Every structure is written in C-alpha cells, then in structure tokens.
C-alpha cells in the first residue's frame, strides 16, 4: 500500500487536479496587470476596513487594466447569516466599487473562474488535498477535539509553543497501512498538511506594504480539510488564489503572520505564490489610546453607518484615499475638479501602521464633495436618502422644481456653498426655505443691533412698499437696501459709519440683518438676494407680516 492507495481510499471519486488546471487557464492580461480580490465572510456586517480594502483593490485593478473579483469565504458556516452575500454585494454597489467577477447576489455570479463562493468549491479543494496526500504531503488525522485539547494542555503546563507539530503531531507518523486500517474501521478524521518546515529556520518575505519581514518557518501541521468536508481559510486561500489567478493578495495585516504557512502551502502545491500587501487597520483615538475600529463599540465601523447618516459615498471614498496615500491631499488641492478615479494610488505608499480615522475630517471632505455637485445631483441624492430615512424631508423634496431652486442657491459658481456635510444635514439646512414649514410654526427672531420693535416694523414695511422689486438684478437690489438704509438714517457704507458713528443710527449691514432675520429667522444664511429670488414676493410678504406679528 502506498500514498496513492490512501488518497484513493479517502477521495475515491475526485477529479484529478489537471482537470481544474485546464478548466481555469492562466489569465491573458497585459504585463503588470493586477488581479486582486475582496474575500469577505458573509457574517452580515461589512466593516469599513473591508470597503477600504475593496476600494484599493478596485483602483489598482483599474490602474493596471487588471481584474477585481469578489469571493465569498463561507467555510465557517457557524458564522454565516441570512442574506450575508447580498449585504456585501449591495454595499459595494452602493459605493460604486463593483467587482468584474464574483458573486452578484445570494446565488448568482459572473466570471469564468468560479464558483466564487467557497462552499460550492468542495470538490476542488478535495482534488488538491488528494494531490497532496498522494505525495505524502498531507495525511488523515484521527485525533479527536479532546485529543487536541489534551495536547494543548500538556504544552501549556510544559510552557512550550502550542500546536500540532513535530513530536506532538501524533498522526503524522502513522504508516499508510495504519491510516488505511483506521479509515476502514470507520474512525473519523480530518486532513492535515504535513509541514516540511522547521521553527529554527527563517524565511524572508517581501511584503508590498510592510517591506522586508523575517519569520520562522511554519512547522504546524494545520488542518486543511475539516470534519464537515470544507477547507480551512489557509488551504482555500492557496487553492483559490492560485486557480483564480490572483497576482496580489491585499488583505488585513492580521494575516501577516500566516505568510510563512501560506508560502509553504503554495510551494508544496506547486503554485506560484502571489504578492502580498498587508493593510494596516483603520484606527480610532479612544481617549488618547489608539485602537482598531471595533465592530462592537464603534457605530462608524459598519459600512451601513455612512448610508444611515447620509455621508455621501464619494466623500467616504475620498476620505479613505486620504488615509491610504498621504500624497492624496496635495493631489486633491492641485486637482480640485478631477474625480477620484483620476488619482493614481500607490500600494508602496500605504502607511505601515494604522491610520487614525477622523470623523471631523471626513465631514469636511463631505462638505467639499457636496459643494462640487450640481443642484440636480444634490437633489437626487438627498431625495434618495430622505425616502429611506426621513419622511418630513421627503415631503419637502417632493416639490422638485422648487427644491432644485433651493439647492441652486450659491451653487455652480466659483465659490460654492459648503454648508452641507451629509444628507441628514439637509432638512435643518433648507427647512426655512419652505413656506409650509416656516410659516406654520412660531419662529425665534434673533435680531442683532437693531432691536427696537417700531424700527424693525418700519424697515420691513418700507422695504416691501418702496424698495423691493423682484425683477431687480443683484446690484440694483443691493443699492436699494442702501437707499432704504440712507433714507432711514443709517450709514449706507460700513466704512462711513465707522468713521462717524455719531452721525448714524447704525449701518446698512444692520438693516440687512433685520431683513435676513425676518425672512429666515437666522443670522447666517447663504446669499440673501438669491434667497429672495427663490422665495418670491408673495412669500417674502407673508414672512415679513409674520415677523411683525411675532415681534
């Protein structure tokens, strides 16, 4: 009896690896093309770190005319949740980071290198496990979970490295006859890799992000096929990334220490290893302590948070690029009107340790991103968000024609307004422009310098009677406010007032403030001329009447 007999006994009806090697030919891409992937587990939670990785992967594939695919790693079926794949697919879609290949819904996929869901690749893993067994590089292990636990306990008492390796790897020294006999006796088993490594030897690894790192060789006989017939992450990673033609494995740096094992697996399987780029996690400053963004403690760790808050996808992506490459900020400053797709991302410029996530900065990026949008875009995105999260805002935005005018205020010019950071800000931001909201509620009127009720009443009444004309252009409109100020004993210019304060009651700016506060109940608004244009005479009149009534 030899290894071949053992392999056939364990996997009698399994295709030879040559079948898969032919079925999935090497990809025919131009030199330097990066093939990379996002390989999440469908646990019902897409972490912002996953989006970060996908964004980087998508960009690198785009920049090199390569391929970005989505592989679902569902080999730990205990952790799986319903619609887990859909959540992932939709999150990527929402952020316009769409894979070229991979799962596109819970059950459907596209691309020639599938299945892209690991639970559907059982036969493939078995074929490669069989191939290893045939060469004496893998073996059935009959240790029960209790046996393994006993080994661990002994190692702990003796204070030695835990694991299934060397003398502790009981089953690796069974003869082929013994193994076959146990299988025939119906003993249950799993398949382990027979590691050729030695802990006292070192390997050198060059990581695209982390640079040169030395590790001891792997000597653990890790499980490759579990009792449920599914592979472990390590084995599936080697088989899948080989067959799918991955050139760059871009993943979280919690996997860096597994590199010795992974390189060994690639080597023993006869595969060319990919390049590895281990990304540092996104960190948070928690009372002076730097820690990873935590799924349990930080709502912003979930990708869904950004949608709920209405932080524009493009701002999130732009902010993540900021974190990824420190030269992004300069590029953005020099290329204000380019889209982020035009930024050339460099993996070797990624920071080796984790970057801090800064919500204030993200919201600033949000303000800038929204300021670059047209009124139409702002309208559509705000409306889409409102329909999901805010009925009141939806009602306001149902009036499309008017809303477009509102969003058009101070937009599309050289210095567009930058007062909206996220869609959940919109209601508060534009509410006062809607008569049915504004007029039907008692308002606060924070008048400033001019407080006298009679004076305020006079300014408002006179302005409408004698000075306001909706056909005026901006200059004329402003000249008329000056005229009104002058006629009522206020300085027409601030400068004039400063020079001779005793000659005037106050100045034109103070008169303007009265108009602004009466119109909007705010001291700070975008351009008042544009506001009046959008409101129209009827509304202005009603607002002034209301202000007078509520003096």
- Residue numbers at the binding site for ligand GLU (CB under 6 A): 39-41, 73, 237, 249, 251-252, 255
Least separation, in Å, of the C-beta of 37 and ligand GLU? 7
Shortest Cβ distance from residue 231 to ligand GLU (Å)? 12
- The residue (of 56 and 340) whose beta carbon lies closer to ligand GLU is 56
Write out the two tokens for 509. 């700016």
- Closest approach of Cβ 170 to ligand GLU, in Å? 30
* Rounded Cα gap, residues 121 and 136, in angstroms: 23
Residues paired with residue 231 on neighbouring β-strands, in sequence order: 225
Q: Which of left, alpha, beta for 38 (phi over 0: left; psi -120 to 50: alpha)?
A: beta
Nearer to ligand GLU, 320 or 517 (CB): 320
Beta strands in 49-127 (DSSP E): 67-70, 101-103, 109-110
Contact 52, 100 (CB under 8 A): no
CB of 48 to ligand GLU, least distance (A): 14
How far is the CA of 417 from the CAs of 375, 376, 389, in angstroms?
11, 15, 24
Least CB distance from residue 250 to ligand GLU, whole Å?
7
State which residue, 251 or 543, has the beta carbon closest to ligand GLU. 251
Going from the C-alpha of 107 to that of each of 44, 98, 104, 110, the distances in angstroms are 16, 17, 8, 11
- Residue 53 half-sphere exposure toward CB, CA atoms < 13 A: 24
What's the closest the beta carbon of residue 364 comes to ligand GLU, in angstroms? 31
Q: Which is nearer to ligand GLU, 41 or 218 (CB)?
A: 41
Supply angle C-alpha 317, 321, 323, rounded to 5. Answer: 115
In sequence order, the 6+-apart residues with CB closer than 8 A to the CB of 182 are: 140, 142, 174, 189
Return the number of the residue (205 or 251) whose C-beta is nearest ligand GLU. Answer: 251
Q: With beta carbons less than 8 A apart as the criterion, state whether 115 and 109 touch.
A: yes
Shortest gap between Cβ of 41 and ligand GLU (angstroms)? 5
Q: How far from 429 is each of 434, 512, 522, CA to CA, in Å?
A: 11, 20, 11
Q: What's 234-259 look like in SS3?
A: HHHHHHHHHHCCCCEEEEEHHHHHHH
Q: How far is the CB of 346 from ligand GLU (least distance, A)?
A: 20
C-beta closer to ligand GLU: residue 252 or 408: 252
Q: For residue 32, what are the β-bridge partners?
A: none
- Considering the complex, what minimum distance in angstroms separates the CB of residue 40 from ligand GLU? 5
Residue 58: its H or E element = helix 48-63
- Closest by CA position to 140, among listed 100, 173, 107: 173
Backbone angles phi, psi at 394, to 5 degrees: -55, -45
Query: Could you check whether the bond before residue 367 is cis, i.e. omega within 30 degrees of 0?
Result: no
Quick one: DSSP state of residue 464? I
CA atoms of 245 and 20, how far apart (whole Å): 13
Q: Which is nearer to ligand GLU, 247 or 429 (CB)?
A: 247
Angle at 261 between CA 260 and CA 262, to 5 degrees: 95
CB nearer to ligand GLU: give 39 or 459: 39
CB closer to ligand GLU out of 54 and 195: 54
Distance CA 48, CA 41 (A): 14
CB 86 within 8 Å of CB 105: yes
Closest residue to ligand GLU, based on beta-carbon distance? 251
Residue with tokens 């002058």: 486
Nearer to ligand GLU, 255 or 271 (CB): 255
Residue whose CB is less far from ligand GLU, 249 or 382: 249
Query: Which is closer to ligand GLU, CB of 276 or CB of 434?
Result: 276
């Amino acid at each position: 009896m030899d290894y071949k007999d053992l392999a056939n006994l364990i996997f009698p009806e399994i295709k030879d690896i040559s079948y898969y090697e032919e079925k999935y030919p090497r990809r025919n891409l131009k030199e330097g093309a990066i093939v990379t992937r996002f390989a999440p587990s469908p646990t019902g939670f897409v972490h912002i770190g996953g989006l970060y990785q996908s964004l980087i992967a998508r960009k690198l594939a785009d920049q090199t005319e390569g391929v970005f695919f989505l592989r679902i790693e569902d080999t730990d079926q205990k952790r799986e949740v319903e619609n887990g794949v859909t959540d992932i697919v939709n999150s990527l879609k929402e952020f316009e980071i769409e894979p070229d290949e991979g799962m596109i819904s819970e059950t459907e996929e596209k691309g020639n290198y599938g299945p892209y869901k690991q639970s559907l690749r059982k036969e493939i893993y078995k074929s490669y496990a069989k191939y290893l067994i045939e060469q004496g590089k893998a073996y059935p292990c009959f240790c029960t979970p209790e046996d393994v636990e006993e080994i661990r306990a002994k190692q702990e008492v003796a204070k030695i490295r835990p694991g299934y390796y060397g003398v502790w790897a009981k089953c690796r020294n069974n003869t082929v006859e013994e193994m076959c006999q146990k299988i025939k006796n119906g003993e249950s088993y799993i398949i382990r890799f027979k590691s050729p490594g030695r802990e006292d030897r070192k390997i050198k690894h060059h990581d695209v992000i982390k640079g040169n790192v030395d590790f001891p060789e792997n000597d653990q006989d890790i499980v490759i096929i579990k009792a449920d017939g599914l592979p472990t992450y390590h084995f599936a990673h080697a088989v899948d990334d080989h067959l799918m033609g991955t050139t760059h494995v871009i993943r979280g740096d919690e996997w860096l220490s597994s590199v010795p094992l992974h390189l060994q697996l690639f080597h023993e399987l006869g595969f060319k290893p990919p390049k590895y780029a281990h990304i540092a996690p996104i960190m948070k400053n928690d009372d002076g302590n730097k820690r990873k963004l935590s799924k349990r403690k930080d709502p912003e760790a979930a990708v869904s948070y950004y949608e709920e808050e209405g932080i524009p996808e493009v701002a999130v992506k732009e902010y993540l690029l900021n974190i990824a490459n420190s030269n992004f900020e300069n590029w953005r400053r020099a290329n204000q009107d380019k889209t982020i797709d035009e930024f050339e991302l460099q993996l070797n410029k990624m920071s080796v340790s984790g970057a801090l996530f800064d919500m204030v900065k993200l919201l600033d990026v949000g303000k800038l991103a929204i300021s670059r949008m047209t009124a139409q875009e702002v309208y559509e995105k705000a409306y889409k968000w409102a329909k999901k999260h805010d009925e009141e805002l939806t009602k306001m935005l149902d009036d499309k024609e008017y809303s477009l005018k509102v969003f058009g205020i101070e937009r599309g010019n050289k210095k567009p307004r930058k007062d909206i950071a996220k869609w959940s800000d919109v209601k508060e931001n534009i509410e006062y422009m809607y008569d049915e909201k504004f007029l039907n509620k008692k308002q606060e009127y924070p008048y400033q310098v001019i407080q006298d009720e009679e004076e305020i009443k006079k300014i408002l009444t006179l302005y409408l009677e004698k000075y306001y004309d909706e056909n005026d252009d901006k200059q004329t409109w402003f000249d008329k406010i000056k005229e009104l100020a002058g006629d009522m004993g206020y300085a027409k210019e601030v400068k004039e007032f400063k020079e001779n304060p005793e000659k005037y009651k106050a100045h034109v700016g103070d008169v303007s403030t009265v108009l602004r506060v009466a119109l909007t109940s705010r001291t700070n608004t975008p351009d008042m001329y544009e506001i009046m244009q959008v409101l129209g005479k009827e509304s202005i009149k009603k607002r002034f009447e209301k202000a007078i009534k509520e003096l």
